[in-house]
Structure 1
Amino acid sequence: MQYKYLGNTGLKVSEVAFGGVEIGMPYGLKMSQAKHMLQKQDAIKLLHHALDQGITLFDTARLYGESENIMGEAFQGIRQQIVLASKCRHFRNPDGTLPDKFALKHIVRQSIHESLNALKTDYIDVFMMHHADLEMLEIDEIYEIFTVLQKEGLIRYPGISVYEVEETKLALDKGFWKVIQLPFNLMDQKQGIHFKQAYEQGVGIIGRSVLMRGLLTDKSFQLHPELRAVQDHILKYRQLFNSEIDNLVALAMKFAASFPEISSVLVGFDKIKFVDYALEIFNSKYLNEEQVALAKSLSYPDQGFLNLAQWDNNGWL
């Protein structure tokens, strides 16, 4: 396992991070039924195995079902061995509006205490605003409460989780957020335009959606008819296969790991064998310049269409 500094935070993290959503709630392609979920004790064994194999960065969120509770039980007594990232509750009301500024500060404080209690810890290494958007990033009171929580020692570093490139740009320009978690994969490469600025500012990048919830695996070839163009495009990546990379999962992971600005690549796991396979892939042997250039040229032409949350709402996943 290789380790990198998470921006200029001083935190050294494993090159692959454990994404905790799958141990807490149904997630991914065709995962709408709870019967697919891991039992708690199996999830704890999975977390322990990942740690034993050298994974040190574990990512969760207040809204990932039982994920925080399971991690809290798994890491009780060995908290100092891991770097823990979690995310605040969502801010927006069901109608899409934001609460008033006083209520926002209350949501953040209530959420951090809920997370601390569930995780059985007295601090979180990276505490993120979840689904941060342009409007949220302009609210002074959010910066105030994150600063207070940092001064109180409840969080070590503030971060955000974003979707759009404009959000990443604004967050970087604000100069406050120390870690940005963003989507980046073979299909959706638009966030790459901000990697240089993030690196120069010492902002740590955690890349997520490396497999696009399973789209960049063999499962992708049973997609909804509305995603036929996506399915056809995925087939183009086979031209990047070679003697060392002979499947889509390996290619997708090695592609994300080929960017030095990305401190850690977030991968969701629900089986020990998947942890072991990922560690075989993250072996410091990634794509060369020519392969990266070809992969960049094969990004999906309509980047705006790549909205997994909307696809989920449409019933396509």
Structure 2
Amino acid sequence: MKLSVLGNTGIEVSQIAFGGVEIGLPYGPGIHSEKDMLQETEAIALLLQALDKGVNFFDTARMYGKSEELIGKAFRHRREEVVICTKCQHLKNSAGELPDDKTLAHIIRGSLEESLVALRMDYVDVLMLHQADLSILKNETVCRTFEDLKKEGLTKSIGASTYTVKESETAINSGLWEVIQLPFNLLDQRQAEIFDLGAKKGVGMVVRSVLMRGMLSDRGKNLKAPLAAIEHHISQYANLAAKEGMTLPEYATRYVLDQDKITSVLVGIDKPVYLENALETAGLPALNKKLLAGAIPFPDPEFINIPYWDRMGWL
């Protein structure tokens, strides 16, 4: 497994990162309850298998159910072998408002303390904002508290999980956030416009949503009527990939791996076969000209909103 330094942090991470949400809570198409998920012993075995096969970067969050706890149990005797990224709990209330400064700092500190207990660790390698919109990224108390936690050695580096190009650009230009986690995939390629900026500023860039919660796989078939255009676009990728001897997930993952400004690619892994597929894809050669030419994004990227699709009952 290829290792690369995460921006200017000095931290070496594997090209494939283990996305920990799927082992922590029901997530993605077809996963409706804990009965559809791995049991604890299976999840721990999968985490250890990933580490033994060269994956050293594990992504989790306070909001990911049992994910931190499982990672803590898996790596309690192998802390120095892994790079752990976790995310602070959400900072805004249901009305979309931030609390007062004192409460805000208390929430951030309390969230990290809870994460460290669950992870059975004294520090994390990367502590990130979760759902970092512009108001959060620019909030002085948020910035100062994260800086203080780094100075205290509770995290080696700090970062932000963003959604929009403007959020990513703001985080990169701030000079504060060292790692950015952003969405990028075959269907939605908007974030590509800030890749050069991030590389120039020495910010480590980690991509999530590579398979769009499994949509860029066999789960992207037989979708409900409002998603017909999405399904058609996905089928075009699948047909092209098949002609070139690849599966759709291989095509989608390899396309992101081929972005030279990206340090690591988060892959949601909740089955051994998904781990094996990710490792095999990382070992494939770069995409040929036909596959690159066929990597056309969905023409209406604003429509791509999986949480909204979920709320509408389309998944």
Task: Specify the TM-score bucket, using the shorter chain as the normaliser.
Answer: over 0.9
Q: CA deviation at 1:246?
A: 2.2
Q: How does 1:152-301 map to 2 (within 5 A)?
A: 152-238=152-238, 240-241=240-241, 245-283=245-283, 285-288=285-288, 291-295=291-295, 298-301=296-299
| Deviation per residue, 1:46-73 (Å, 9 max, x gap) | 0000000000000000000000000001
How big is each residue's C-alpha offset from its partner over 1:104-128, in whole Å with a ceiling of 9 and x where there is no partner? 1111000000000000000000000
Indicate how the Cα distance of structure 1 residues 279 and 172 shifts in structure 2: closer, same or farther if over 3 A, else same.
same
Letter aligned with residue 220 of structure 1: G
- Deviation per CA, 1:88-113, whole angstroms, max 9, x where unpaired? 00011012222122211111000000
Are 1:146 and 2:146 an aligned pair?
A: yes
Q: Secondary structure at the match of 2:292?
A: helix
Q: Is the Cα contact below 8 Å between 1:2 and 1:284 reproduced in 2? A: no
Task: Describe the shift of the 1:290–1:8 C-alpha distance in structure 2 as closer, same or farther (beyond 3 A).
Answer: farther
Task: Give the counterpart letter for 1:122 in structure 2.
Answer: D
Aligned counterparts of 1:82 and 1:244: Cα–Cα separation in 2: 35
- Hey, what's the Cα distance between the residues in 2 that align with 1:271 and 1:155? 29
- Give distance in 1, aligned partners of 2:222 and 2:34: 21
Report the Cα distance in structure 2 between the residues aligned to 1:248 and 1:49, rounded to whole angstroms. 24
Q: Are the structure 2 counterparts of residues 253 and 245 from structure 1 closer, same or farther at C-alpha, using a change threshold of 3 Å?
A: farther
CA contact (8 A) 1:28 1:213 kept: yes
Moved over 3 A (4+): 242-245, 288-291
- Structure 2 vs 1, CA of residues 28 and 124 (structure 1 numbering), >3 Å: closer, same or farther? same
Alignment of 1:310 with 2:308, yes or no, is yes
- Report the CA distance between 1:141 and its aligned residue: 0.8
Shift of 1:185: 0.4
Q: Distance in 2 between matches of 1:162 and 1:307?
A: 14
Query: What pairs up with 1:35-74 in 2 under 5 angstroms?
Result: 35-74=35-74
In structure 1, runs of 5+ residues without a counterpart are: none
Q: Per-residue displacement from partner, 1:160-216 (whole Å, max 9, x unpaired)?
A: 101111100111111111100011100010000000000011101110000000100
Answer yes or no: is the 8 Å Cα contact 2:237–2:294 preserved in 1: no
| Preserved contact between residue 6 and residue 263 of structure 1 (Cα < 8 Å) | yes
Q: Could you tell me which amino acid in structure 2 is paired with residue 62 of structure 1?
A: R
Percent of paired sites with the same residue: 46
Deviations 1:221-262 (A, max 9, x none): 121221111101112214532666422111001001010111
Question: Can you give the 5+ residue segments of structure 2 that lack an aligned partner in the other structure?
Answer: none
Give the root-mean-square deviation of aligned CA atoms: 1.3
Alpha-carbon distance in structure 1 between the residues aligned to 2:258 and 2:225: 32
Which amino acid is 2:53 matched to?
Q
Cα deviation for residue 292 of structure 1 reads 2.7
SS of match in other structure, 1:265: strand
Does the aligned pair in 1 maintain the 2:242–2:248 contact within 8 Å?
no
Tell me, what secondary structure is at the counterpart of 2:235? helix
Q: Distance in 2 between matches of 1:244 and 1:159?
A: 38
Asked if structure 2 preserves the Cα contact closer than 8 Å seen for 1:245 and 1:251, the reply is no
The number of residues matched between the two structures is: 315
Change in 2 beyond 3 A, CA 1:285/1:243: farther
Report the Cα distance in structure 2 between the residues aligned to 1:222 and 1:247, rounded to whole angstroms. Answer: 18
C-alpha deviation, 1:274, in angstroms: 1.6
